[in-house]
Amino acid sequence: MFWPIQRAWLQVVVRDGFQSAVTLPVERGLFQIWKRGLPGAGLVEQKGLPRRVIEQTLGSDLVLQVDPQKLVRTTDWRDYEYSSRPSSSAFLWDGSWDFRRGDLCHGSRYRFISDLDAHRDDLTGSEAFRYYKAQLEAGKPWRSHQKGVLLDSEERILAYLRVYLSFLDDMASRGFDSTRGKDDLGVAVTRDGHLLKINRGLHRLAMAQRLELDSVPVTVKAVHRKWWDKITAGTTGQAALSCLKEAVRECIPETEPGALDPVKTL
């Protein structure tokens, strides 16, 4: 596992270094073109606006407190053509992605956390332990190069599961601590102004749901272009950002299924 782990960390270092040295300066330049209404501003907005710079510019104005029990719908990219997915670097997302929704109430993370909590006195009885043990017995122990984890013994499996229980217990005693995870709880705003969870921090959200916390902070990472066009009403630059700051406060979690949800098979 040593070299795969080193390779994964090297990839992260190279990616982050390239973003800091090249990508972010370019994005800041494009953002200034748009914000000041310089030639090319329309093209910058057409391409989706640079997400990272908008996050840095607006900061806490993009952070909302929501009831985790209501944040139950997420973007669902299964069988969604990769070429049709919005860019993670863009703040404005086009397409029908907001009509494809997953159900977090029955998601794998919530089942995983609930399973561990229910079997905390004997984790060998949990579904998670049985799964990882079956992988071990098949000669294919579960591993994660990015996390530096190799579950090649029952002891390591149990230690790995206890880590999640420790996070759950810490949240139960101290509340939700947004600094504990490496990523914010990200959400995207649909064309109707509703919030969909995106694929970051799903385990921590599942813990908050399991503990029935009153609220958790989420960060708006992207918005549907149709919603953006509606709330900005033809404005651009600083005026458009001011409209965004006001409108985003009214966004609420989406709780209903979508018109293009993948068909569930029995």
Q: Which of 246, 163, 159 is nearest to 204 (CA)?
A: 163
Q: Where are the chain's structural domains?
A: 2-109+175-253, 110-174
- Residues 86 and 90: their CA atoms lie apart, in Å, by 7
Name the pTM for this structure. 0.87
For CA atoms 147, 153, 157, 158, give the dihedral sign.
negative
pLDDT of residue 266: 41
pLDDT of residue 4: 47
Per-residue pLDDT of 231-254, as tens digits, reads: 999 999 999 999 999 999 999 999
Residue 8 binned pLDDT confidence (cut-offs 50, 70, 90): very low
Residue 2 binned pLDDT confidence (cut-offs 50, 70, 90): very low
DSSP annotation string for 134-200: HHHHTT---EETTTTEE--SHHHHHHHHHHHHHHHHHHHHH---TTSSSS--EEEE-TTSEEEE-SS
3 state DSSP class of 92: strand
Residue 178 binned pLDDT confidence (cut-offs 50, 70, 90): confident
pLDDT of residue 1: 43
Per-residue pLDDT of 70-110, as tens digits, reads: 999 999 988 778 888 899 999 999 999 999 999 998 889 99
- Name 138's Cβ contacts closer than 8 Å, sequence gap at least 6: none
pLDDT of residue 53: 97
Please give the average per-residue pLDDT across 201-221, as a whole number.
Answer: 96
